[in-house]
Amino acid sequence: MAIRHLMSPLDFTVEETEKLLDLAGDIERHPEKYSRICEGKRIATLFYEPSTRTRLSFEAAMMNLGGKVLGFHSEDSSSAAKGESVSDTIRIVSCYADIAAMRHPKEGAPLVASLKSGIPVINAGDGGHQHPTQTLTDMLTIRSLKGRLDHLKIGLCGDLKFGRTVHSLIESLSRYEGVSFVLISPEELRVPSYVRNGMLAKNIPFEEVVKLDEDTMSGLDILYMTRVQRERFFNEADYVRMKDFYILDRDKMDVAPKDMCVLHPLPRVNEISVEVDDDPRACYFRQAKYGVYARMALILTLMEIEVK
Ligand code: CP
């Protein structure tokens, strides 16, 4: 049977995505049912770029399923530092583990690895391209908070050019009826043309604006904040000019819709003031917790393991 990988959220149909989110919901409600289901299985976390949430939640996910974890957390601590390719690395890791999650600064590197892999490979973030497991996390969070994934008005704010979580989330939610987007960014950090063209091709309503103010936030169900991705800039001066372009603070929250949920893939730098953390609409720490359930469901799905 063909090995299934996850490179983009579109690798799953809407029906498959819903099934995975249902499974994640069941895992949240009944963790004991799943606590030994992956006994004897291992996940390899192959991280060529820094991470807190994605790597640790993959590791927690496999441990919660009764499995084990191996891997590396930086290029420097693997034989990549000696020049080994991702293709050779995954061939080796296929001998040691049953599934792998790979984060890499180069767009497409997990895809290249998947072509030579003997085990399922999950894209845990490739450059400024895609971050499909963050999208599963975001969708699980939105569905839990709002009870639906359709008929939502979603604002995405910050670095929409390099923010891979934004690209994956737009592509995924564009498949749901009645979804519209407000894209809030400086001109230089607008979404890439492939993301914009995807929305145009599907007739998804969207507007691109610069200001984050009462008008922009009017009617939003979700405000998805993102940090400016320093590591993707070619020069530090541009980053410094952009980094504090948006700061969501208490004054802005005072004029935001009363039922608007604030999400953020994290890490946060300055774009959400800590004074917002206690606002009941601030949901970004809960969002990080959903990442474990989403990744547990993903591991089971790709390994084709079912609870009897
Ligand atoms: N959201 C996210 O990808 O966080 P990390 O970079 O800490 O994994």
Is the same domain home to 13 and 106? yes
Percentage of the residues of the chain whose pLDDT score is greater than 70: 100
Specify the CATH number for the domain of residue 180: 3.40.50.1370
CA distance 4 to 52: 26
pLDDT at 241: 84
Instruction: Give nearest CA residue, ligand 1 atom 1.
Output: 265
Report field, pTM of the whole predicted structure over 0.85? yes
Q: How far is the CA of 96 from the centre of ligand 1 (A)?
A: 25
Is the same domain home to 188 and 218? yes
Is the same domain home to 85 and 194? no
Q: Looking at the domain assignment, is residue 87 inside a domain?
A: yes
Q: Can 52 be counted among the known catalytic residues? A: no
Q: How far is the CA of 57 from the centre of ligand 1 (A)?
A: 10
Over range 42-51, report the average pLDDT.
Answer: 98
Over range 98-119, report the average pLDDT.
Answer: 98
Closest CA to 272 of 244, 230, 291, 236: 244
Max Cα distance, the chain (Å): 56
CA distance 128 to 108: 10
pLDDT at 37: 97
Q: Name the residue with tokens 């949240």.
A: 28
Domain residues for the domain of 284 are 132-288
Q: How far is the CA of 90 from the centre of ligand 1 (A)?
A: 22
Q: Looking at the domain assignment, is residue 22 inside a domain?
A: yes
CA distance 268 to 272: 7
pLDDT at 244: 83
DSSP-based three-state secondary structure for 177: coil
Is the same domain home to 255 and 191? yes
Closest CA to 127 of 95, 157, 86, 96: 86
Q: Is the pLDDT of residue 243 over 90?
A: no
Q: Which of 54, 165, 226, 301 is catalytic?
A: 54
Q: Can 103 be counted among the known catalytic residues? A: yes
Is the same domain home to 137 and 61? no
Q: Looking at the domain assignment, is residue 4 inside a domain?
A: no
Q: Can 250 be counted among the known catalytic residues? A: no
Is the same domain home to 142 and 280? yes
The upper half-sphere exposure of residue 9, i.e. CA atoms within 13 Å in the direction of its Cβ, equals: 31
Is the same domain home to 51 and 167? no
Q: How far is the CA of 265 from the centre of ligand 1 (A)?
A: 7
pLDDT at 285: 97
Instruction: Give nearest CA residue, ligand 1 atom 6.
Output: 51
Q: Can 17 be counted among the known catalytic residues? A: no
pLDDT band at 238 (very low <50, low <70, confident <90, very high): confident
Over range 2-30, report the average pLDDT.
Answer: 97
pLDDT at 124: 98
Q: Taking all residues of the chain, what is their mean pLDDT, rounded to a whole number?
A: 96
Backbone angles phi, psi at 228, to 5 degrees: -75, 125
Percentage of the residues of the chain whose pLDDT score is greater than 90: 92
Q: Looking at the domain assignment, is residue 124 inside a domain?
A: yes
- Show the ligand 1 pocket: residues with CB < 6 angstroms: 51-54, 125, 134, 265-267
pLDDT digits (tens, 9 = 90+) for 269-291: 999 999 999 999 999 999 999 99
